[in-house]
Structure 1
Amino acid sequence: MTTTDPSITIQRFNESHIDGITALYNDPAITRQVLQMPFQSTEVWRKRLMPDNERVVQLVALYQGAVIGNIGLEQFSRIRRSHAGSIGMGVAGEWQGKGVGSKLLATALDIADNWMNLRRVELSVYADNAAAIGLYRKFGFEDEGLFRDYAVRDGVLVDALSMARLRATPKAG
């Protein structure tokens, strides 16, 4: 297993990261693996990532100050779904397979478990993204279903998996 370079840091997203996030998600190799549209402006990303909502946590992975990855964790706002949240992430192509995704996911799940008290964390991932699926399974995510013809990618409809990680509820003493 490859370990992450110790000089990679995880920070809460802030205004100084906007250009790096825009570049990350405008990379065609990344855009085709997430649900973002290509050629988004920095203003679109600013509006998307700067909401003042404590139920939304946006983190970035940095190497020498440059954004190399991002993960978002959102606790659902509906009362009956407040035990659950969802994540979405992206890692720069040259950093994939080097532990950056693991570091981002571990940090987000620590927040989900120990600060937001989420029992359920959900995600969707393209069914042919074996590397991402392997990462999620490593962290306890399990397949819950297949979304057929889920989204357009490269001009054709592709499938996605629904995955979730359920955390055991601690028993009262």
Structure 2
Amino acid sequence: MDNSQITIRPIYDWDLVQLNQIRTREDVCMNILALPTETLKETKDYFFDNPHFIHTFVAVNQNNKEKDVIGYVRLLQYQEVRLHHRGKISIAIDPTYHQCGVGTKLLAKIIDYAKKWMRLEKLELTVLENNEKAIGLYKKFGFEIEGIFKKDTLVDGNYENVVFMSLML
């Protein structure tokens, strides 16, 4: 797919059904903390629970008439005053669109937004240790590994290691 057909924009209420469909796909759930049983209300709470501290952009495929949402990046700014300079990123993309530049566009957008609009100094994320493609993408943007959480996240019945990465802005 030509990634010039992918646009990045802020999230809207009407995106929730498609975002829920992405988040509840079994092949996506394996890499994020959502469960395949996540309800639409739970998806809404995830994205809109605290609008002052949660900022989300979606990737849209302009190539089809439905203009499908194909991924998102979410930035949660820590509410504690002494942690206000930090934000935590989560990202998910419909696997149909992996290796099409969607992750690159989403990360570029959220990093720019964090710098210019939020004045954040540090972005953080966690990623499963075996998700080498995602780790490679984050490193491409300058994220560095700060540590590994052993047997941190339950995935398909087993506890998997998680890599903690950060980017100083």
Normalised by the length of structure 2, the TM-score is 0.93
For 2:31, what is the secondary structure of its paired residue?
coil
> Alpha-carbon deviation of 1:118?
0.8
> Alpha-carbon deviation of 1:97?
1.0
Percent of paired sites with the same residue: 30
Letter in 2 for 1:69: G
Normalised by the length of structure 1, the TM-score is 0.91
Runs of 4+ in structure 1 off by over 3 angstroms are none
**Match among 24, 27, 32 for residue 25 of structure 2:** 27
Distance 2:99 2:25 in 1: 17
Are the structure 2 counterparts of residues 76 and 52 from structure 1 closer, same or farther at C-alpha, using a change threshold of 3 Å? closer
Deviations 1:54-76 (A, max 9, x none): 32101110113111101100111
**Match among 127, 130, 136 for residue 134 of structure 1:** 136
CA contact (8 A) 1:4 1:100 kept: no
**Match among 4, 7, 21 for residue 6 of structure 1:** 4
Moved more, 136-145 or 44-53: 44-53
> Alpha-carbon deviation of 1:52?
4.7
Distance 1:5 1:133 in 2: 21
Distance 2:151 2:131 in 1: 15
Letter in 1 for 2:139: R
- 5+ long unaligned stretches in structure 2: none
- 5+ long unaligned stretches in structure 1: 168-173
CA contact (8 A) 1:4 1:103 kept: no
Are the structure 2 counterparts of residues 11 and 111 from structure 1 closer, same or farther at C-alpha, using a change threshold of 3 Å? same
* Residue 93 of structure 1 pairs with residue 91 of structure 2: no
Distance 1:157 1:52 in 2: 30
Corresponding residue number in structure 1 for 2:122: 120
- Superposition map of 1:49-68 within 5 A: 49-64=47-62, 65-68=67-70
Moved more, 44-53 or 86-95: 44-53
CA contact (8 A) 1:14 1:50 kept: no
Count of residues paired in the alignment: 165
CA contact (8 A) 2:48 2:54 kept: no
**Match among 78, 81, 90 for residue 79 of structure 1:** 81
Letter in 2 for 1:18: L
Deviations 1:15-71 (A, max 9, x none): 110110011011111110111111212121112212352321011101131111011
- Superposition map of 1:145-164 within 5 A: 145-164=147-166
Letter in 1 for 2:8: I
For 1:117, what is the secondary structure of its paired residue?
coil
Moved more, 155-164 or 59-68: 59-68
Distance 1:142 1:4 in 2: 29
Are the structure 2 counterparts of residues 4 and 90 from structure 1 closer, same or farther at C-alpha, using a change threshold of 3 Å? farther
